[in-house]
Amino acid sequence: MCIGEVVIELARGGDGRFALGCGGDTFNTAVYLARAGNDVAFASAVGDDRYSDTVFAMAAAEGIDCTYLLRVPGRLPGLCLLDAGAQGAKRTHFWRDGSPARELFELPDWGQVAEALLGARLVFLSGITLSLYSNTGIGRVLAVLELARRNGCMVAFDGNFRPHGWNGDLGRARAVCIEALKRTDIALPAFDDEAVLWGDPSPEATVDRLQAFGIGEIAVKNGPGNALIAVATGREAVPVPEIVDPVDPMAAGDGFNAGYLAARLAGESPANAAASAHRLAGAVIRHRGSILPRAGVAVH
C-alpha cells in the first residue's frame, strides 16, 4: 500500500496550451509498482467531481486497488500547475489547502484504511505524505505503522522534503520525520533533500544519521551520482549505468523508489535493486511527465 495524495496536474506545453493529467510522488511510485506485477493499493482521498473521476480511471487502468481511495462529497482534489520558468526551469504552483487527502486519517472511514494497512506486506509513504496531515492525522498514521510492523509489515519511507509543504516550519518537519524514521525498515532518501532538512554534508553522513534510528536498509539517491546502499553487512556505491540529459527530471526519485522496492519484493539484493532503480529513473527522465507511456521500459 502507498499512502499520499493525487493532484490534478495542468502542464503548459511549448505551444502555451495546458495538458491535463494527475500525479503525486507516492501515486507515481504506486503506478510503477503495479506495472512490475505487484498487488498495489493506494490510500488517499479525493472529491466526487469529474476530475476526481479521472484519478480513479487512471488508477484502475494501471491495476491499482482503489478501495482505500476515499470519496468526499462536495470536495475537489488538489491542483498543481507546471510551467516553465527562466532558462526552461520547471516551476510548480500548488492549490491544495482544501484537498480531501489532507484529512484522510480524520475522515469517518479512516478506520478502514488503517485496517488495510495492518494487513499489508509493505507500506510506502513520504515526507510529502506526512506534510499533508494535522497533528491528529500524523498521530494516527504513526500509530498504525507501529502496529503494522508488529504484524510483519515492512515500512518504506522517502523523506522527500519540500519546504512549502511544511509552510517553512523546519522544526515540525524534523520532529515528524524523526517519528516516521523510528518506524522505518527501508529508507529511500534523496541526498539533496536531506542536506536541506538536516544539513548532511554527504551521503555517508545521511547513512550515519539514519542508521542511528536502527534502520536496517538504506538507499540514498544522489541524482546522477552513485546511490549509496547501506545494510547490516556494509555499504556499497551503485553507479548510474548511463548519464542521461533529462527531458523532464520530475518523478525521477519516484521511479527510483518503485524500481528499488519492486526488485526487493521480487527477491533481488539491495545492490541489484539499486541498479534496477537507476534504470527506471533514467527511463522516466527521458520523457515528459511523471508517468511513462505503458510501452516504456520495464520496471525491472
Phi, psi at residue 292, to the nearest 5°? -65, 150
| Selection from 262, 180, 181, 256 nearest residue 220 by Cα | 256
Question: Nearest 5 degrees, angle CA 23-CA 59-CA 63?
Answer: 135
Give the span between the Cα atoms of 163 and 149, in whole angstroms: 29
Cβ(274)–Cβ(260) below 8 Å: yes
Q: Which residues does residue 190 pair with via DSSP β-bridges, in sequence order?
A: 221
Q: Report the interhelical angle of 191-198 vs 203-211 (nearest 10°).
A: 70
The one catalytic residue among 158, 193, 200, 254:
254
Among this protein's residues, is 245 annotated catalytic? no
Give the span between the Cα atoms of 47 and 50, in whole angstroms: 9
* Positive or negative: CA dihedral 149, 266, 116, 290: positive
Length, in residues, of the chain: 300
User: Widest CA span of the chain, in angstroms?
Assistant: 53
Give the span between the Cα atoms of 287 and 248, in whole angstroms: 6
Catalytic residues: 254
